[in-house]
Amino acid sequence: MSLEIKRTPMERVYSLIAIIIGIIFLFSLLGQTIKITKNIPPNTIVYVDQGNSVYYAPPYILGKKYPNTLDVNILKAKTVSDSKQNNYKADSACIDLGYFKEQDTLTNTVLVKLGLAKPKPSRWNSDGSWNW
């Protein structure tokens, strides 16, 4: 004795559609909570304080968000890779403000890869300049 359920072709189609909709729904819910992080490209220009071994994001300096104790006249423009090779550390305020990384959701990343959404504009241009 077997408990085989007989389904019509339309019932199979409806079941398949329900499963696909459920997968899409779960992916969209979970995909919004999973963040994809893109770090700053190595050729990006930053401002370096050689005395304190710290580098700053240009929007932080040019936007005058830095503390009054920082002398911006001593800062030198260098790439992030040069700064890291010299063991300079990113300024903690710049890190907190999110200048050195970009985040996107898994859902948006997949939609961009599939061509269903436009990519968000990057903070950095391919030549190492900032896109702000």
Condensed to tens digits (0 to 9), the pLDDT of residues 47-84 reads 999 999 999 999 999 998 888 888 899 999 999 999 99
> How many angstroms separate the CA atoms of 52 and 69, rounded?
12
Residue 1, pLDDT > 60, answer no
Condensed to tens digits (0 to 9), the pLDDT of residues 96-129 reads 999 999 999 999 999 999 999 999 888 888 888 8
* pLDDT attached to residue 48: 96
Host H or E run for residue 81:
helix 80-85
Mean pLDDT value across residues 18-43: 91
> How many angstroms separate the CA atoms of 49 and 55, rounded?
6
User: What is the CA 39 to chain-centroid distance, rounded?
Assistant: 7
pTM attached to this predicted model? 0.74
Mean pLDDT value across residues 14-25: 94
Report residue 2's pLDDT band, with 50, 70 and 90 as the boundaries: low
Amino acid making up residue 47: Y
- Where do the structural domains in the chain lie, given as residue ranges? 7-37+103-123, 41-99
> How many angstroms separate the CA atoms of 78 and 80, rounded?
7
Dihedral sign for Cα atoms in the order 81, 85, 87, 88: negative
Residue 6, pLDDT > 90, answer no
Which tokens go with 60? Answer: 């932080």
